[in-house]
């Protein structure tokens, strides 16, 4: 009976019945029979197909939540009895900002994956703030306002942001000497990042950037700044190397991005997949440190 619940849970986690069968070392026919037997015994349909992957019915969601907890409990019990560390297993769905995920997360995943050979990672990169429940995401790495009291937020690193421009731009236009002066300069920002929340001598201030080039890509705004087309507010994880080698210069150093913005991981707050979510959060928490490599 437990085997029937396991094939159902793994089919949803892997996205297909055939993938779940491979994970459990079963033939597709055996996996299909077990799932059919479970649906027949419960008297309800548990899975429906979508254009992207298998999706649970309303009854299937209820069964999945309870069955996933049951399987996690069995794994934990086996770990206690055999005195071994419980390994994560199944599919872990992670979302991260495009540039950060590509440059500061993906290249560092090898130790985590090596330590979790039974786990499959699905990493989706997007600059949109995805709805974890609607998109069925387990962990979202985000850069934004961090709330220390929120148990679903796990701080990973500070996010220091500076105003900067290329030497070619500064040679042609000079450096701004104040925020009022900055309004007369070309500004560069992606469409969803045009509100610059700064901290300066007068305290918190909001600067509405009017980008010279309209783009929905933060990476494009970065490249435009490097090309000498204007002043941008950039995170040091994104332009740390360019600041060190002189391809970008800090302007108005008395101002910096708001200090309540941090890099953090957001979890969905559900009991499902607790072992693999906990393992990934533990890995991320030790990845960057209070002074990340890009700020040293």
pLDDT digits (tens, 9 = 90+) for 244-267: 999 999 999 999 999 999 999 998
Residues paired with 188 in a beta bridge: 232
Closest by CA to 248, choosing from 269, 230, 275, 274, is 230
Q: Can you give the pTM of this predicted structure?
A: 0.70
pLDDT digits (tens, 9 = 90+) for 214-231: 999 999 999 999 999 999
- CATH T-level assignment (fold) for domain 90-159+261-295: D-Maltodextrin-Binding Protein; domain 2 (3.40.190)
CA dist., res. 92 & res. 274, Å (int): 10
- CATH T-level assignment (fold) for domain 1-82: Arc Repressor Mutant, subunit A (1.10.10)
pLDDT digits (tens, 9 = 90+) for 11-65: 888 888 888 888 777 888 888 888 989 889 889 999 887 656 688 889 988 988 8
Which CATH architecture group holds 161-257?
3-Layer(aba) Sandwich (3.40)
How is the chain split into domains, by residue range?
A: 1-82, 90-159+261-295, 161-257
CA dist., res. 47 & res. 244, Å (int): 53
Q: Which pLDDT score, from 0 to 100, does residue 76 have?
A: 66
The reply to whether domains 90-159+261-295 and 161-257 share a CATH topology is: yes
Q: Are strands 195-200 and 203-208 parallel, antiparallel or unpaired?
A: antiparallel
Q: Are 116 and 88 in contact (CB under 8 A)?
A: yes
Phi, psi (deg, nearest 5) at residue 40? -65, -40
């Amino acid at each position: 009976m437990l085997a029937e619940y396991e094939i159902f849970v793994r089919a949803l986690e892997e996205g297909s019945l055939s993938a779940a069968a491979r994970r459990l070392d079963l033939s597709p026919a055996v996996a299909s029979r077990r799932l059919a037997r479970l649906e027949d015994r419960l008297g309800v349909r548990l899975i429906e197909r979508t254009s992207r992957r298998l999706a649970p019915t309303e009854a299937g969601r209820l069964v999945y939540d309870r069955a996933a907890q049951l399987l996690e409990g069995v794994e934990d019990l086996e770990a206690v009895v055999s005195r071994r560390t419980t390994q994560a297993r199944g599919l872990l769905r992670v979302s991260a900002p495009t540039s950060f995920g590509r440059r500061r997360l993906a290249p560092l995943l090898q130790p985590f994956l090596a330590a979790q050979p039974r786990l499959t990672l699905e990493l989706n990169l997007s600059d949109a703030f995805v709805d974890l429940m609607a998109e069925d995401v387990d962990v979202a790495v985000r850069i934004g306002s961090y709330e220390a009291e929120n148990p679903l937020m796990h701080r990973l690193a500070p996010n220091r942001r500076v105003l900067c421009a290329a030497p070619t731009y500064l040679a042609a236009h000079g450096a701004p000497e104040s925020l009022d002066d900055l309004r007369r300069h070309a500004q560069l920002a992606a469409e969803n990042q045009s509100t610059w929340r700064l901290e300066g001598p007068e305290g918190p201030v909001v600067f509405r950037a009017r980008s010279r080039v309209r783009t929905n890509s933060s990476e494009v705004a970065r490249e435009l700044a490097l090309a000498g087309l204007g002043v941008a507010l950039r995170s040091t994880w994104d332009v740390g190397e360019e600041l060190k080698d002189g391809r970008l210069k800090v302007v108005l150093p008395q101002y910096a991005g708001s200090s309540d913005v941090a890099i953090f991981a957001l979890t969905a707050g559900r009991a499902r997949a607790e072992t693999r979510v906990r393992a990934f959060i533990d890995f991320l928490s030790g990845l960057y440190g209070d002074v990340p490599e890009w700020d040293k």
